[in-house]
Each structure stands twice: as C-alpha cells, then as structure tokens.
Amino acid sequence: MITSVGLLSIAEGFARRIPDDPSYADERNSCWLNIGVSYLKQNDFDAAFSVLHLLTDPMAQVLFRVAAVRWCGEHFEYDAARDLVRDTVENIEKWERLMYRSDLSDLVKPICIVLGEEAVQAMSWRLKDPFTATTVLVTLSGGLQDPGVRRETLRTAEEFAKSVRSGDRDYALRWVVRGYESAQLREDEQRARAEMSQDFELMNESEAQILEKANEVLQLRVGPEPDPDTPGLKLKRYLDYQFNDLKVSYLTELADAGGIDNWEIEQLIKTAAFQSIAPARPPNIYKDPSEYTVEFLAWSLFGRPVIQRPEDRPNIDGIGDFWISNWSRFVTTLQEFFQNFAKLATPFTTSQVEQGLWYLFGEPFWLGSQLDSDNISEPQIIAVTESMYYPFRDYYMKKDKEFSGSAFFMWWDNFSSGRHNPAKDTAAIGVLKQMLNLPNQACRDAALHGLNHLVPDMRVAPIIDAYLSENRQSLSNEQIAWARHCRDGKAN
C-alpha cells in the first residue's frame, strides 16, 4: 500500500522534474496547485502553504486561495491561515477578475467565521464589479440574524444591482429579489421586481430553456453516459492522454481517497511510462488567443487528446472565463487558419479535428455568436465567412468517410447562432452555394443544412431548387425529400 503521504511525496518529486521552461508553465502550476489543495485535504496547512510561492500563474494562485479560505473556515485556529484569509480579503481587487462570482459568494461564510461579517461588508466595497458585490451581500444577508441589519444589507445590495450595466442588471436584481423573498420582506421584494425590465418568472423560464438547449448540444458531443469509472480505468486514460499534470492529479486524487492498496496500480505508478516527462501540452483552451500564430491556434484547437469521458474535460481543456482582447487580430488569424485548413489539420487525427471545431463553434469560442457582435467589422465578418469554404473543399471533401460525428455537418447551424446578420448571411449564402457544386455529397448535405438555417431568407429556395434541378437524377428519393425540407427551413 502507498499512503497519502507517500503519494504526495511521489507527486512532488514528479512536479520538480518538469522542465523550468515557459512552455511547461501551465503544467507546473497545475501540478503544484493540485498538491497544495491535496495537502489542505490532509489538514497539513504548513505543507500546503509552502506551495503558494511556487504558483506563478495568477489563476492558480486564485484557485489555491479559494480552496485555502474555504479550509480556513473550518480550521480558523491557525494564525497563518487567518493571515492568508485577511490578505486575500484586503487585496481582493487583485484577485477579483480571476474569480467566479460563485467563488466569492462561497467564500462569504468562511470569511465571516474567520474575520467577521464586517470584513465581508468591507470587501464588498472594494469589489470593482457591482454585480459581484450584489451576490456577496445577498449571500451575507442569508446568514445574518438581526432583521434590521439583514434588511439594510439587502438594500445596499439593491443599490449595487441598480448600478450594473443594462445587459446584466436584471440578473443582479434577481439575486436581490430572492434575498428579499428569503427574508420575507414582501414590500422590498415587490419594489426590486418593479425595477427589473424583464418579468422575473419569464427570466427563469427562458433560462431553463437555454440550459436545456445547451445540454442537448453537449449530448451531441459527449454521447451516452459511459460505464462507471475506476482508478484502473482512469490511470489508463491518463497514460493515454500523456499530460504531465494529469499524472500528478491522479496521485493527488489517490491521496485524497486515503492512499492506494492495489498492487497493479502501485506497479504502474513506478513504470517509465508513468514517470517519464511528456512534451508540453497545448495551452488552456480559455486563454486569450489574440496573439496566437495560425500554427499555434491549430495546435491549441486540434493538439489535445480526444476526451474519453466527460468528467475529464476540465483536465484536458483547463478552466476559466474565455475572452478575446483583440478581435480584429484574432479574426485575421482565423481567416488564414480556414484558408490553410487542410495543411494545418492534416497532422492531427480526424477525431482531434472534430473536437477542435466544437471548441471553435461551441464552448468556449461560440464563433457564430461572436460574429454577430460589435467586436468585428463588417469587412472582416465577410472575409472570415468566405474563408470557411476551404475547410470543406480542401479537407472534409477528402476525409468525410473518416468522420463519425457531426462537426462539419453542424458547422453552419452553429455558425448561424439563431440570429440573422445581413453581411454574414450574404457571405454564408455565397459559400453554401459554392459548396453545393462540390463533387461530394457530405459537403452538399452540410450546405443544404446550412441553407435550412438561413430560412426565411428569400434567396434560399431558388438556390436549393436549382440544386435539385441539376442533380435530381443522381439523388435518392430520401435525399430529394430532405433537400425540400431544407428549402422550407424544416430540417433538423
């Protein structure tokens, strides 16, 4: 048997052997973060705290601090732990942009335990985002015993919520409404509801529908629920993935479980396959790609191993909030990426390519929706849309039989994003019309599917009618019927 302490010792030894090179920075931070958090779970704060100076990435520091503050809420007798909580609160402006609102809300209780409710109140005023301040104060109010203080806290949260930008204000006010509702402050609840531009109940219903649609999209990607996982199966997957930090993650998971008493797994951990340092992994998929070269973008999208189980995705992709600081530069790179798609995609398996396209048109890029925003000029929208012809002509047409999924077929469905942008639609119609002339039925089906999602644009029906007229002799009855459905906008 290898004890928890022994596993963490092996993990530390592995982490120290990862090259001190910029290309391995993400992996080093991931390794030390996992080790530090695992020491917290072993209630060894001194060992955990010693990891903090090894975390060079701000996001890794934030994740460690979040875990440490939560831990401190149950072990507030440690002076060093209390100091870490105080330092986090007093410097919250430094960490706020890297924290999820839910993280800050979750820290309200432990901060109250360690430093008192006044520290949370003071922290709310340091926060730059009024929406976050709203969620923090509403969460705080739920634990307050004095009715007057609770009401005053909610009213402060309401003032923060009213200062949130218009697109998010209703969502911030919804927090306040729920806070008043929980406190049974009916008049305040009704006043906060009246300040919302959307109906409270309709917002909840609409959100539920969006979540249902998102789950449908995710189901397309991940397929049916896999069989139950085991430590042995996980170890095999992690060896297949060949990511250094996943090996450390595996060791810390075993340590968190109390050690390992499995001779086969113990021996595998000692093998060269496990102990060897693999090449640097692609960057976190949520990192800003504005400065990527076209080759690096291809590696970031396609260079990841195909995810074998849904729960592995955060370990393969990373976590974070996605944003692009320079859309003009990125779209220029993206145009070159599509124009040279065959060359860039060929080094990777078709499964890796398909997975990468889901990143691009789904989470986290959501490219179709982004092209409808004000971030990109109309000439760039047209240019990047027109460049999407080349992946079909130069790559998919030659490899369609190797694809088992739907990334190319769903390309134009995801691209349309349910909205109609005149410049984008015109460019897309031109590309789809070209695709209908390609000598490949899979490309033509993708084009028909894309045209289907542009209905009720009056240009769609004549294009599909012309396609049917020219190709009727070579099409089956089912293909003809489906093309007509696409013409009428009735295809799935």
Q: Binning pLDDT at 50, 70 and 90, where does residue 414 land?
A: confident
The amino acid occupying position 459 is: R
Q: What is the pLDDT of residues 124-142, one digit of tens each?
A: 999 999 999 999 999 999 9
The per-type count for the chain, helices as H runs and strands as E runs, is 31, 0
Residue (of 207, 192, 261, 199) closest to 232 by Cα position? 261
pTM comes to 0.81
- What would the mean pLDDT of 46-58 be, rounded to a whole number? 94
Instruction: DSSP for 291-329, please give it.
Output: T--HHHHHHHHHSSPPPSSGGGHHHHH--S----S-HHH
For residue 439, pLDDT over 60 is answered with: yes
For residue 333, pLDDT over 80 is answered with: yes
Q: DSSP 3-state assignment of 260?
A: strand
Residue (of 289, 388, 383) closest to 330 by Cα position? 289
Place of tokens 């976590």: 319
Four-CA torsion 362, 367, 371, 377, nearest 10 degrees: 160
At residue 260, φ and ψ (nearest 5 deg) are: -135, 130
For the chain, the domains span: 4-222, 294-487
- DSSP state, residue 145: -
- What would the mean pLDDT of 360-374 be, rounded to a whole number? 89
d(CA 489, CA 487): 6
- C-alpha dihedral sign at 148, 154, 156, 159: negative
Residue (of 141, 79, 140, 153) closest to 111 by Cα position? 140
Residue (of 43, 50, 74, 73) closest to 258 by Cα position? 43
11, two tokens: 């993990």
Q: DSSP 3-state assignment of 2?
A: strand
- What would the mean pLDDT of 410-420 be, rounded to a whole number? 79
211, two tokens: 């979540």
- CA neighbours closer than 13 Å in the CB half-sphere of residue 151: 8
Q: How far is CA 182 from CA 101, 179, 208, in A?
A: 20, 5, 21
184, two tokens: 């049974």
- In this prediction, residue 247 carries a pLDDT of 97
d(CA 375, CA 372): 8
What whole-number percentage of the chain has pLDDT above 70? 94
For residue 204, pLDDT over 70 is answered with: no
